């Protein structure tokens, strides 16, 4: 079991390293989005895919090690550290805290990226609708003041003076 615990600590360090690398990649993607460098963003997306594959591989190894030790993948680390020596316990607790911290930073950064992309898509959608001249099927008014419902398409730039 000592061998598996040592391997688990190594895998935990690998996961921390991979997640930090992913965090750096995500920070770069945020800058590339802000600077509208789509070619660079494509390259960073490929890079992040490779990092995610490494994380997936390490995670599978972690799960296998947990099973060898006698735990399942859903077992909280606090249950696992109860059977460890003080040094191993400290290293695993410290590692899980660092990993949780990096994952928290990744979540925050991903939310920022998601909001930025959402805003960009709204601007693109608005620009496309202006260029296409597609508007809503809202009612308009004729010269005599009668409302016409959906007979004509109007763009969002039409001023409804009757309202």
pLDDT tens profile 110-131: 999 999 888 888 888 888 888 8
Domains of the chain: 2-125 (1.20.58)
pLDDT tens profile 72-84: 888 877 778 777 8
What mean pLDDT, rounded, does the chain reach? 84
Whether the full predicted model's pTM is greater than 0.95, yes or no, is no
Tell me, what's the pLDDT at 40? 94
Of 19-28, 65-74, 113-122, highest mean pLDDT: 19-28
**What is the residue-wise DSSP string for 27-48?**
HHHHHHHHTT-HHHHHHHHHHH
Place of tokens 């660092």: 98
Q: At what angle do helices 2-34 and 38-69 cross, to 10 degrees?
A: 160
- Is the pLDDT at 44 greater than 60? The verdict is yes
């Amino acid at each position: 079991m000592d061998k598996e615990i040592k391997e688990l600590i190594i895998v935990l360090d690998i996961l921390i390293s991979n997640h930090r690398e992913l965090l750096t990649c995500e920070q770069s993607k945020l800058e590339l989005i802000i600077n509208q460098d789509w070619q660079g963003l494509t390259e960073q997306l490929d890079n992040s895919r490779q990092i995610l594959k490494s994380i997936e591989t390490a995670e599978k190894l972690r799960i296998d090690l947990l099973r060898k030790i006698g735990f399942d993948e859903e077992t909280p680390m606090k249950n696992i550290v109860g059977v460890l020596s003080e040094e191993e316990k400290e290293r695993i607790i410290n590692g899980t805290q660092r990993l949780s911290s990096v994952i928290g930073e990744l979540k925050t950064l991903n939310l920022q990226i998601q909001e930025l992309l959402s805003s960009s898509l709204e601007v693109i959608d608005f620009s496309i609708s202006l260029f296409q001249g597609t508007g809503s099927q809202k009612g308009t008014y004729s010269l005599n003041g009668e409302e016409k419902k959906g007979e004509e398409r109007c763009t969002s730039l039409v001023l409804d003076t009757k309202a």
